[in-house]
Amino acid sequence: MMKPKLLSGGNPQIAKGYGDEPVQAYITAMPGWKSDLGKRIDGIIARTVPGVCKAVKWNSPFYGVADGTWFLSLHCFTKYVKVTFFRGTSLDPMPLGTSKHPQVRYLDVHEGQFDEAQFTDWVKQAAALPGEKM
């Protein structure tokens, strides 16, 4: 199998698709330390949200619930992985990264700086909120 092309910032170019397979292809193609982080993030979400729905859209993995809405996505940048919480302003405490979208909050994870306990708590909260249709 050909290795996916990396776009600017090292984000893998993965064809749009639904289910675990395209998400795992994205995670495998994440460069360097980011792939291990992607595996940790994916594992936390899978354990925390039974029956989580997965997709790759716009070259980013999305995580959602059975009603067809999404609560989180991630994207590779050169020096970090950006996690997007679509209803981030409803999380307690709120992730620090602000967005031009009023409800969105970002978590920028740099190498060696992943707070697994806080992330797990945010995933629990985010999955219980109304999601975004996309």
What pLDDT does residue 9 have?
81
Task: Tell me the average pLDDT of the chain.
Answer: 94
Model confidence at 94, pLDDT cuts 50, 70, 90, reads very high
Predicted TM-score (pTM) of this structure = 0.94
Are residues 113 and 81 in contact, defined by beta-carbon separation less than 8 angstroms?
no
| Three-state DSSP state, 22 | helix
C-beta separation of 36 from 90 below 8 A: no
Torsion of CA 109, 114, 116, 122, to 10 degrees: -30
- Give the single-character DSSP code of 111: T
4 pLDDT above the threshold of 80 = no
Q: Is the pLDDT of residue 1 over 80?
A: no
Q: What is the pLDDT of residues 35-80, one digit of tens each?
A: 999 999 999 999 999 999 999 999 999 999 988 899 999 999 999 9
- Beta-carbon contacts of 41 under 8 Å, excluding residues fewer than 6 positions away, are 74, 81, 83, 119
Give the other-Cβ count within 10 Å of 67's Cβ: 9
The H-assigned helical ranges of 30-130 are: 33-48, 116-128
Length of the chain as a residue count? 134
The dotted CATH code for 12-128 is 3.90.1150
pLDDT exceeds cutoff 90 at 2? no
With a pLDDT cut of 70, the percent of the chain lying above it is: 99
What's the pLDDT score for residue 5?
82
